[in-house]
């Protein structure tokens, strides 16, 4: 059931598996919906975690129009949600640009965030070629822009696509056709991540980088994962052959590694949930 949190002049849509376990808050990347965690969530819940997922500003069932769509603004929403439910020592998962949001949230509220899991993290600005810039500008310029984005999104799954991939793509396209959604996405695509990159050396939260080795957003995805890990002293999981959504292409493996990470590297102050069942 979708719930809403009023914050900074808009509303953030979120849902909650409930329970009394330690909290994991999962934040999707730009141009996607909180349903991107649909395969990971039951594995984490089965291990005793209370899992929340939220739609980022401009997307899903959250408000479309905001003054600020940055990773830092999304982090403020995440912290507000953790405060709303009274969570402490939560684990925040962030995909793509929202990996930066997870790190920002930990910096803003260290008592609320005890660990971060960074899935296909994009935390610094790339240097696109003139051809790439022209292609992006043309892609967002006309009535084909939803097709353009969902076609790009479709390319981010080189290892395998989930069984419900077609319906997920259709749901994403429907959402992006709503008023204000594509404008929000276009704004987010153009935002610099320089502030997030500059903050990395100051990050102190235990972190796990999960990177698909064939993530097309990077010339060398494994090297990008190592670059980030050295700056924030993070553990790394390379998912061989996966793209930008390793948690959708290899959910069992990613869930098991996340649970191992939080048990070893991010001990909670209270009772710790059990590890993932071997049958998962």
Domain membership of residue 20 (yes or no) is yes
Helix-helix angle 181-189:145-154, to 10 degrees? 60
CA-based max dimension of the chain: 53
Percent of the chain scoring above 90 in pLDDT:
86
Please check the confidence at residue 223 and state whether its pLDDT lies above 80: yes
Per the structure, the complete domain to which residue 109 belongs is given by 3-265
Domain membership of residue 193 (yes or no) is yes
Q: For residue 273, what pLDDT is reported?
A: 42
Q: For residue 267, what pLDDT is reported?
A: 61
Q: For residue 131, what pLDDT is reported?
A: 66
Domain membership of residue 67 (yes or no) is yes
Domain membership of residue 270 (yes or no) is no
Please check the confidence at residue 274 and state whether its pLDDT lies above 90: no
Q: For residue 133, what pLDDT is reported?
A: 77
Given pLDDT bands bounded at 50, 70 and 90, which one contains residue 264?
confident
Domain membership of residue 111 (yes or no) is yes
Q: For residue 142, what pLDDT is reported?
A: 87
The DSSP letter of residue 21 is S
Q: What is the pLDDT of residues 106-130, one digit of tens each?
A: 999 999 999 999 999 999 998 876 7
Domain membership of residue 275 (yes or no) is no
Q: What is the domain-level CATH number for residue 87?
A: 3.40.50.1820
Sequence-distant (6+) residues with CB within 8 A of 247 are 36, 37, 39, 40, 95, 119, 210, 254, 255
Q: What is the pTM of this model?
A: 0.92
Q: For residue 266, what pLDDT is reported?
A: 59
Q: What is the pLDDT of residues 249-262, one digit of tens each?
A: 999 999 999 999 99
Please check the confidence at residue 276 and state whether its pLDDT lies above 60: no
Mean pLDDT of 144-156: 95
Domain membership of residue 277 (yes or no) is no
Q: For residue 134, what pLDDT is reported?
A: 79
Domain membership of residue 178 (yes or no) is yes
Q: What is the pLDDT of residues 181-210, one digit of tens each?
A: 999 999 999 999 999 999 999 999 999 999
Q: Give backbone dihedrals phi and psi of 113, rounded to 5 degrees, phi first.
A: -120, 115
Task: State the total domains in the chain.
Answer: 1
Would you state the structure tokens that stand for residue 261, as one six-digit string? 């990470």
Q: How many whole angstroms separate alpha carbon 133 and alpha carbon 137? A: 6
Would you state the structure tokens that stand for residue 218, as one six-digit string? 């990077």
Please check the confidence at residue 272 and state whether its pLDDT lies above 80: no
Burial code (b: 16+ CB inside 10 Å, e: under 16) for 170-207 equals: eebeebbeeeebbebbbbbeebebeebeebbeebebbb
Other CB atoms closer than 10 Å to residue 255's CB: what's the count? 22
Helix (H, G, I), strand (E, B) or coil at 82: helix
Q: For residue 261, what pLDDT is reported?
A: 97
Please check the confidence at residue 6 and state whether its pLDDT lies above 70: yes
């Amino acid at each position: 059931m979708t719930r809403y949190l009023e914050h900074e002049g808009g509303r953030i849509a979120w849902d909650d598996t409930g329970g009394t376990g330690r909290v994991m808050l999962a934040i999707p990347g730009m141009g996607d919906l909180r349903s991107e965690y649909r395969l990971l969530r039951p594995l984490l819940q089965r291990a005793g975690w209370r899992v929340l997922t939220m739609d980022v500003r401009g997307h899903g069932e959250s408000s479309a129009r905001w003054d600020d769509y940055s990773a830092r603004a999304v982090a403020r929403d995440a912290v507000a949600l953790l405060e709303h439910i009274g969570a402490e020592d939560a684990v925040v998962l962030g995909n793509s640009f929202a990996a930066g949001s997870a790190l920002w949230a930990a910096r803003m509220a260290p008592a609320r965030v005890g660990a971060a899991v960074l899935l296909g993290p994009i935390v610094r600005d790339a240097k696109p070629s003139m051809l790439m810039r022209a292609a992006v500008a043309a892609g967002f310029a006309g009535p084909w822009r939803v097709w353009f984005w969902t076609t790009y999104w479709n390319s981010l799954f080189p290892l395998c696509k989930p069984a419900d991939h077609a319906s997920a793509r259709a749901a994403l396209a429907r959402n992006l056709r709503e008023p204000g959604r594509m404008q929000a996405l276009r704004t987010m695509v153009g935002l610099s991540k320089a502030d997030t990159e500059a903050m990395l050396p100051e990050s102190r939260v235990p972190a796990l980088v999960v990177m698909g080795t064939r993530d097309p957003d990077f010339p060398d995805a494994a090297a990008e994962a190592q670059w980030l890990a050295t700056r924030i002293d993070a553990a790394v999981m390379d998912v061989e052959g996966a793209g930008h959504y390793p948690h959708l292409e290899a959910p069992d493996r990613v869930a098991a590694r996340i649970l191992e990470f939080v048990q070893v590297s991010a001990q909670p102050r209270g009772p710790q949930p059990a590890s993932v069942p071997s049958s998962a």
